[in-house]
Amino acid sequence: DQQVKQNSPSLSVQEGRISILNCDYTNSMFDYFLWYKKYPAEGPTFLISISSIKDKNEDGRFTVFLNKSAKHLSLHIVPSQPGDSAVYFCAASYNTGNQFYFGTGTSLTVIP
């Protein structure tokens, strides 16, 4: 039962343009969402998070948007850089739960 879904396994974007990575979830109890970035042969690293009391959080080139009614969040990277090429995982949790639920990841390729 995949409670967090990333329906696009891959995305290619030209350098300098915007990358938009999408994530959908099914559990309305989720109240905290995170994005992780993963390079090959490395562990995932935390990128940005958002609490359900917000609908937007921004950190430099990275912005996460949360639409609770649609159970949808997205990560915007602008401008995209070749070093952003990696697999991006979204994850969700709820305060009384014991685990973070991860999506299957989207592989982003930024073309120079």
Partner 1 sequence: NAGVMQNPRHLVRRRGQEARLRCSPMKGHSHVYWYRQLPEEGLKFMVYLQKENIIDESGMPKERFSAEFPKEGPSILRIQQVVRGDSAAYFCASSQAVGLSGELFFGEGSRLTVL
Binding positions for partner 1, rule: CB under 8 A: 6, 32, 34, 36, 41-46, 49, 51, 89, 91, 93-95, 97-105
**Angstrom distances, CA of residue 20 to CA of 1, 27, 29, 74, 80:** 25, 22, 25, 7, 10
Q: Given CA atoms 72, 65, 37, 102 in this order, what sign does their dihedral have?
A: negative
The total of other beta-carbon atoms located within 10 Å of residue 35's CB is 24
- Closer Cβ to partner 1, 19 or 93, answer by number: 93
Least distance CB 94 / partner 1 (angstroms): 7
Which residue has tokens 């609490």? 51
- Closer Cβ to partner 1, 14 or 39, answer by number: 39
Least distance CB 12 / partner 1 (angstroms): 18
What phi and psi values does residue 34 have, to the nearest 5 degrees?
Answer: -135, 155
- Closer Cβ to partner 1, 13 or 50, answer by number: 50
Least distance CB 110 / partner 1 (angstroms): 21
Which residue has tokens 């973070």? 100
Least distance CB 14 / partner 1 (angstroms): 26
- Closer Cβ to partner 1, 12 or 51, answer by number: 51
Query: In this structure, what token pair is assigned to residue 85?
Result: 């090429």
